[in-house]
Amino acid sequence: MSASAQGDRTSGNEIERLLPVLVHIQANLDQDLSLEALATRVQLSPFHFHRLFRSAVGETLKQYTQRLRLERAANRLIIHDATILDVALDSGFQSHETFSREFKRRFQVTPKSYREWARGKIRASQVSPPGLDELYNDFELSQTRVTHLAQLHVAFIRHVGPYETVTEILWHKLADWAKSKLLPVDLTFLGIAQDAPGLTAPERLRFDAGIVVPEEFSSEGEIGHQVLNAAEFAVTTHVGHYRTLPEAYATIVRRAARLKGYRVGGLPCIEVYRTTRVDTNHEMNHTDIYIPVSRIGK
């Protein structure tokens, strides 16, 4: 995270109006996400919705949904033993042929070759000599364990761009909003990394600054609502400055890849900040880092 101001190339009102649609797309990549269907959700003509979406997001609706579907498929190919056809259908493609063609266009390899390459990298990390990746100077990590995270309702503000440019101001806005809604003072602050660096271009990375809320609510301005479904995670506590989180992630992911009986899962990754106020000036922050995992054989 950085205390620098968040770049904003688009109108805040445009993003605010689209927040519910963006959450809907994220949760329903295998459903009908046509221009007509989504325009109806926001009560706009397809023509005006297309212009609004492109202006706010920087991609057309088709480009955006296609990219998210392909990136989701890339994760599914690694973590699930499903057939390539099933991965294609689960990611919103109608046929093996269409999926394979678009996947190769995006990643320059076939889905089968990508799966073999990615799993080969994971196997290599699993047999690396223990201890070599445990050497770090500027932060501390707890042991990594698997835990079940219950379903959570989250109020969030979305940042689009490099993860290191996320600003603490987003959580300050959420805290002020929660106070205006008379929510409990002891807020749980979250960070939700929706995309994987390396798969998604830095300028397209989505990061949601969030707080846990008791129930669903209608989006208000830049503050939207989303649900984090119950799932299993490899959780590790990081103690140190937020600037050391990228290095910590490299170690934690390697640890998760070596967990017996589990495979590193997809997205999102979740950060839970053990603090009453997110402050990038503090050198010794406690952050619980949740990496999705799935049981091998499920």
CATH superfamily of 12-123: Homeodomain-like (1.10.10.60)
**Which residue is listed with tokens 């955006």?**
64
Residue 58 in this model has a pLDDT that exceeds 60? yes
pLDDT, residue 75, reads 85
- What's the pTM? 0.83
245 three-class SS: helix
H helices of the chain, where? 12-27, 35-41, 46-57, 61-79, 84-90, 96-107, 111-126, 169-180, 245-257
Residue 297 in this model has a pLDDT that exceeds 90? no
Rounded mean pLDDT of 43-60? 93
pLDDT, residue 125, reads 60
Question: Please, is 291 exposed, middle or buried when counting C-beta atoms within 10 Å of its C-beta (0-12, 13-18, 19+)?
Answer: buried
268 upstream amide cis, omega within 30 of 0:
yes
Rounded mean pLDDT of 89-118? 93
235 three-class SS: strand
pLDDT, residue 79, reads 75
pLDDT, residue 118, reads 82
Delimiting residues of CATH 3.20.80.10 domain(s) in the chain = 139-295
User: Quick one: pLDDT band at residue 134, thresholds 50, 70, 90?
Assistant: low
User: Quick one: pLDDT band at residue 78, thresholds 50, 70, 90?
Assistant: confident
Q: Report angle CA 166, 159, 270 to the nearest 5 degrees.
A: 75
User: Quick one: pLDDT band at residue 6, thresholds 50, 70, 90?
Assistant: very low
* pLDDT single digits (tens) 223-247: 999 999 999 999 999 999 999 999 9
What's the whole-number average pLDDT of the chain? 88
Rounded mean pLDDT of 84-110? 93
- Residue 24 vs residue 130, higher pLDDT: 24
Q: Where are the beta strands (DSSP E) in 161-261?
A: 189-193, 206-213, 224-228, 231-240
Query: Within 13 Å, how many C-alpha atoms sit on residue 13's CB side?
Result: 0
pLDDT, residue 1, reads 58
pLDDT cut 70: percent of the chain above it: 90
Spell out the residues 6+ positions from residue 190 whose beta carbon is closer than 8 angstroms to its own. Answer: 152, 154, 156, 208, 209, 210, 211, 212, 270, 271, 272, 273
User: Per CATH, which fold does 139-295 belong to?
Assistant: Multidrug-efflux Transporter 1 Regulator Bmrr; Chain A (3.20.80)
Q: Return the closest-CA partner of residue 193 out of 166, 219, 175.
A: 166
Delimiting residues of CATH 1.10.10.60 domain(s) in the chain = 12-123
* pLDDT single digits (tens) 249-265: 989 988 998 899 998 88
User: Quick one: pLDDT band at residue 29, thresholds 50, 70, 90?
Assistant: very high
